Structure 1
Amino acid sequence: MSTSTSPRFPTATHSRELADRLWNAAAAGDEHTATDVVLRALDEGLDPESVLLDVIAKVQVRVGEEWAANRISVAQEHAATAINERAVTALSLHPTARRAPCRGPITVACVDGEWHALPARMLAEVLRLRGWQVDYLGAQVPAPHLISHLHTTKADAVALSASIPTRLPTAHAAITACQAIGVPVLVGGAAFGPDGRYAQLLGAQAWAPDARAAADRLAEAPLPRPRTDHQQLDDLPHLADQEYTLVARSSASLVRTVLLALPDAFPAMHGYDDVARERTAQDLAHIVEFLAAALYLDDEDLFTRFITWTARILQARNVAAQSLPPALNLFAHELKDFPRASRILRRGIEALTTDHTTAGTPV
């Protein structure tokens, strides 16, 4: 192991080389080689935070990109993610990554229903490297359990992670619950939008685009303490129309109705086997989930980003994305008495029509 008293920061070229080696190991399902890449880098004196964020995190981004492009399967994506998680564990146990806490307690958790835990785990490790006393609670933490934990630990702040926008209503409830007991909240993850717009809407004290920025923000100054008498959930007046609640509660019946009607609106579906029909039902369920999230946030762009992304995912798998506009039309017919839902669905149809990467998708 290197005897250097201060870590070396890898050059961009060296980081890319390490990331390529780690990717090759993760893609091959080779856990031993993957952890060896990380441990050798640390033994050579490379900065643990840089290895974590500029190597392991970059490889995890590539895992997602390769899955989206249909170059790896869901099983391969899960296996590669698991190997990256083990690489993070190996890094955290290395002598160069062990730091005595010199800052206050921070709780890091994923919101209830969010099972993409690796981003939160990476944040927890970065904070530990920077001297915070970290309680990492992992994936899918129900708000009551989180609050019970905060009562016990007296954390200075909570860092909540969410990757999927459909988890934002649950995230809002968790943010509000934390603030009700006086604990400030920093949020992060793709769910909150590329610019953190939903973090502000849902009343979080701070937002960060990545783990490094989150750690920097927490080091700048303490997060402002929330008012414990403020009812945050009342700050979304558009929810008074009950469209979000009614759509969310009727999700299963909406999916059944549209699935039954879709073959007449999209004749190619008559040739689907049971597996294809099951996948179509799953896609319809996702559409309703994202529609509900868009209603909760009163944000059409959330839905249009999702529906055009879905079209590209289907196209990469040689599945007919042309089934999406008929499906949205059927949902719009079922929800014709819901003005906001109808408007969002129309915007989704328009987005699919103008998206040149999907407009020509073959049936």
Structure 2
Amino acid sequence: MTTTTPHRSHGDEAIQQRVDELWEAVLATDEYSATDVVLRALKEGVAPEGVLLDVIAKVQGRVGEEWAANRLSVAQEHAATAINERVVAALGLHSATRGVPTRGRITVACPDGEWHALPARLLAEVLKLRGWHVDYLGAQVPAPHLIAHLHRTDADAIALSSSIATRLPTAHAAITACQAVGVPVLVGGAAFGTDGRYARLLGADAWAPDARAAADRLARRPLSRPQPDHQQIDDLPHLADQEYTMVARNRSALVRTVFSGLEDAFPAMRSYSDLQREHTAEDLSHIVEFLATALYMGDEDLFTGFLTWTAGILSARGVPEQSLPPALDILARELKDFPRATRIIERGTHALTLVHRTTAGTPV
């Protein structure tokens, strides 16, 4: 049995034309034109899976890129995503078959706190097209609810999707809980790293870089069921020092302290508008949250990567990235008794220095 959906060959140029048309419809928040684009692609011979992954997913990727470059507002990004979700639903209804699924049963969900559900929805639709019985649970599913569902359905596997790395601790809880009841876990999404490193660290049974690869992996052979007494012993031994727990529990207090101290350390902040101050508080919250996640995973690169990405986002929005090092200095002073945290913050500060020298044209 082949692992890909048979479809009539369709040229890259024609696919790109549909991508451009869908982009224009999404940009105009025109749900009806967007739906018409994908249904026309089907009529022209593009396989439903191709429309999902080569058209809709590409447009959604561009939505994220345009938001990061400050060419789309948050509201526009949300509206575009909502239209893409409705287009996926329309395509799913149009392509639905009334036959009995020929393969097993898969649950598709996002871990608690993960609200980016479109990648999971795309995977769910692809698996349906491949002949699976799919239970799609959507975004932000707490582990207890997930386990209750698995007890009722006797799924062959669960596919967990997460885009934001700060959801890795809750993803870990979900992975462990599912395996404890004998259900294997396939994970995917940007949160798990471009090479799946965090999937391996958290003990997932399989990882896939995208929906097509995930469907192919499930088609090749069944995931082995974990033993009912499956446990991950000392899988993250560094958590014994409690630094993650302390930083995570005190995030709000840390944000307030850094925000207050930043007005003295970064005088330009005194002239910020209320909206700018609100955004600054949000950025500080994200910084502390990523620090906590880096402590959980024992991976300094997770924090430094987020900081350099944030510097690029701030630059695109005309916000001076020089505000980041003073904030990190204050945070380091607050966490001076936490050796892993201070080391990670030092690495982050050094990474920002390298970014600043590169953008300024200064030899590194």
TM-score range, shorter chain: over 0.9
In the other structure, the counterpart of 1:42 is 42
Corresponding letter in the other structure for 1:352: L
Distance in 2 (alpha carbons) for counterparts of 1:196 and 1:31? 35
Query: Which 10-residue stretch deviates more, 223-232 or 149-158?
Result: 223-232
Could you tell me which residue of structure 2 aligns to residue 264 of structure 1? Answer: 264
One-letter identity of the residue aligned with 2:137: L
Which moved further from structure 2: 274-283 or 33-42? 274-283
Root mean square deviation of aligned Cα: 1.5
Distance in 2 (CA, whole Å) between partners of 1:234 and 1:143 is: 21
- Equivalent residues in 2 for 1:1-363, closer than 5 Å: 7-95=7-95, 100-232=100-232, 234-356=234-356, 360=360
TM-score with structure 2 length normalisation? 0.95
Contact 1:173 1:233 in 2 (8 A): no
Aligned to 1:3: none
2:3 corresponding residue in structure 1: none
For structure 2, the 5+ residue unaligned runs are 1-5
Q: Within 1, Cα distance between the matches of 2:9 and 2:134?
A: 24
Provide the C-alpha distance between the structure 2 equivalents of 1:262 and 1:359, rounded to a whole number of angstroms: 24
Secondary structure in 1 aligned to 2:207? strand
Q: Does structure 1 retain, via aligned residues, the 8 Å contact 2:179–2:185?
A: yes
Q: Unaligned stretches of 5+ in structure 1?
A: 1-5
Separation in structure 2 between the aligned mates of residue 346 and residue 126 of structure 1, nearest angstrom: 43
CA shift for structure 1 position 228: 2.8
Structure 1 distance, partners of 2:297, 2:322, is 27
What code does the residue aligned with 2:236 have?
A: L
Shift in Å, 1:13: 1.3
Q: Distance in 2 between matches of 1:199 and 1:172?
A: 9
1:99–1:129: 8 Å Cα contact kept in structure 2? no
Residue by residue over 1:71-122, the C-alpha shift from the partner in whole angstroms, topping out at 9 and shown as x without a partner, is 1111111111111111111110114766641000000001011010000000
Q: Secondary structure at the match of 2:115?
A: coil
Distance 1:284 1:20 in 2: 36
Aligned residues: 356
Aligned structure 1 segments of 4 or more residues deviating by more than 6 angstroms: none
Q: Distance in 1 between matches of 2:94 and 2:24?
A: 22
SS in structure 1 at match of 2:234: helix
